[in-house]
Structure 1
Amino acid sequence: MRVWALPLALVALVSCVTQSVPRRQPQTRVQTMPSRPVVVDPAVLAKRLRSMQPGWPASRKFDCARLRCVALTFDDGPGEHTVRLLDLLRQRGVRATFFVIGQMVAADKGGLTTRRIVDDGHEIGNHSWSHPPLAELPDEAVKKELKHTENIVQRLTGVRMRVMRPPYGSTDDDVAAETRREGLAQILWNVDTLDWQDRVATTVAKRAGAAQPGSIVLLHDIHRSTVDAVPAMLDTLGKKGYTFVTVSELYGRTPAPGRTYTAR
């Protein structure tokens, strides 16, 4: 090679290497707030995963055609007395159905009570967002009442609710059609304890004690007197040989969307 050609070759080689290697862009340092490590309780995680499976809540397979079954249902929560109620039910090994109001779920700090309803194996149902008489609302408003509550409960618990209770029992063909579209069965009742009217624990317990096999009992966990009535209520019905079940367990399956149920 001629001597004068060597520098030219070296220049060409350096040019090729420079073009083939991407230049590093200057890095901008971003200051971030230190984050605390997230500690996940394996037991809680397992419960959450189970709750997300199809067919939740898992039925305990009671044969309510043969057994004396009764479904206790609690409306309008979660409220300040709901945790004490959950403690009482857990101590007795009793499961119930909770029809929650979306606004109350939103006010539940961190969703702790709402999640505990699910984690303790109770059934959770839609009781609208703000508790209006649904039959008096336009179709779009009914949809919003149900959808908003559905969304917040699913976000907090991972559960897609399958049952609902129209506030005041206010329903009609249009409400039934909307609940069918939302995949929700309408659950009414055949035993009304009137606990919202008579705030006396002994009176509430006595009225609940009149339940018959297959009854759905209407209660409200937002009243202290109702929660006070629960031990006597369970004692009275237990002595009569009743088995306490969720609404879905009462029927042995998830109730059909749009259909109205008052008792088995």
Structure 2
Amino acid sequence: MDGPGLVRRVVGGVLAVAVCGALSGFSGGAERVASARDRPAVPEAPAVVRRVSAPAGGTVSWGRRVLAGVGAPGVVGPAGMGHPVRETVIKKKDPCARAKCVALTFDDGPMGSTGRLLGILAGRRVRATFFLVGQNVVKDPETVRRESAAGHEIANHSYTHADLGRLPEGKAVEEVTRTQDAIRLASGVTPVLLRPPYGSTDKRLASIARRMGLAQILWTVDPLDWSDRDTDAVERRVMKSVRPGSVVLMHDIHATTVAAVPRIIDRLAARGYTFVTVTELFGGDLEPGGKYVRREP
């Protein structure tokens, strides 16, 4: 074998090995890129919702955990998950923390004059709280649906307007339960407020309300509209007694009371009052079984 031929064959072999090695390396790199691209994404951590204690001002805060990037400020990992998350806080506003609020409440309906009252409230963009008698709900479920659809708060006032504080426990439970069921069937709403008729309550009823998830709501201002069917007297007594944080008791079953509502709303609005539901008045911070009369400044 001649020398030049041998040299050409050796050089050719070296080049072939080098080219193959390069191709092999390129192929491996492409394989690694494909692996990174096709790798399944890390599953997102499920949302976790928790309640945060309300501060002294009454604002209710809620926390929600959401997926965040690794290394983001404040990132933590929930126990047992291995997923990086960041905690954010969503605050539920308390409209009465600074505003002059008043809650207008109406008992004993629905009745024939309730429809007129709903029109008055709608025209002035005022929301109220209706404490309903269960047997009246059964007779007129459509009005209950109207109340709920308009954004008013629907609450329990017993089934037959019974004196719950004097009834045997079984009867009191039946009165409250039947009303809860009637309201839920009529409107889809489950009340969280109970107003005992006549304001009659005791430790036993408080225990029943606690078990059923109902806060007991009494009142601050009573214009005695049920006794004196006098529109001017109702207006005068409300305006004389109302203060920021008041719960005003009226009865939409009396046409004389409904006639006083437009002037009451207009005069209170002129004094800078904001009209809210009972739950809004107390910033959503109502304990089942507790008894509430007014919101303190």
TM-score (structure 2 length as normaliser): 0.67
Matched, 1:168 2:198: yes
Which position in structure 1 is the counterpart of 2:23? none
Is the Cα–Cα contact under 8 Å of residues 69 and 245 in structure 1 kept in the other structure? yes
Q: Which amino acid aligns with 1:214?
A: G
RMSD value over aligned CA atoms? 1.1
Q: What SS does the corresponding residue of 1:124 show, helix, strand or coil?
A: strand
Q: Residues 53-132 of structure 1 correspond to what in structure 2 (within 5 A)?
A: 61-108=93-140, 111-132=141-162
Q: Residues 171-190 of structure 1 correspond to what in structure 2 (within 5 A)?
A: 171-190=201-220
Decide which of 125, 134, 140 is 2:164's aligned counterpart. 134
Counterparts of 1:171 and 1:103, CA distance in 2? 21
Bigger-Rg structure (1/2):
2
Is the Cα–Cα contact under 8 Å of residues 103 and 128 in structure 2 kept in the other structure? yes
Which position in structure 1 is the counterpart of 2:175? 145
Counterparts of 2:235 and 2:168, CA distance in 1? 38
Is the Cα–Cα contact under 8 Å of residues 137 and 186 in structure 2 kept in the other structure? no
How much has 1:61 moved relative to structure 2? 3.8
Q: What SS does the corresponding residue of 1:66 show, helix, strand or coil?
A: coil
Give per-residue Cα distances to partners, 1:149-201, cap 9 Å, x unaligned: 00011011111100010000000000000011111000000100100011111
Question: Percent identity between the aligned chains?
Answer: 52
How much has 1:63 moved relative to structure 2? 2.7
How much has 1:254 moved relative to structure 2? 5.0
Q: Which amino acid aligns with 1:129?
A: Y
Structure 1 runs of 4+ aligned residues shifted over 6 Å read: none
Decide which of 237, 241, 250 is 2:281's aligned counterpart. 250
Is the Cα–Cα contact under 8 Å of residues 61 and 249 in structure 1 kept in the other structure? no
Counterparts of 2:196 and 2:230, CA distance in 1? 25
Counterparts of 2:229 and 2:193, CA distance in 1? 27
How much has 1:62 moved relative to structure 2? 4.5
List alignment gaps of at least 5 residues for structure 2.
1-91
TM-score (structure 1 length as normaliser): 0.75
Q: What SS does the corresponding residue of 1:112 show, helix, strand or coil?
A: helix
How much has 1:220 moved relative to structure 2? 0.3
Matched, 1:263 2:284: no
Aligned length: 203
Q: What SS does the corresponding residue of 1:174 show, helix, strand or coil?
A: helix
Give per-residue Cα distances to partners, 1:4-58, cap 9 Å, x unaligned: xxxxxxxxxxxxxxxxxxxxxxxxxxxxxxxxxxxxxxxxxxxxxxxxxxxxxxx
Is the Cα–Cα contact under 8 Å of residues 162 and 254 in structure 1 kept in the other structure? no
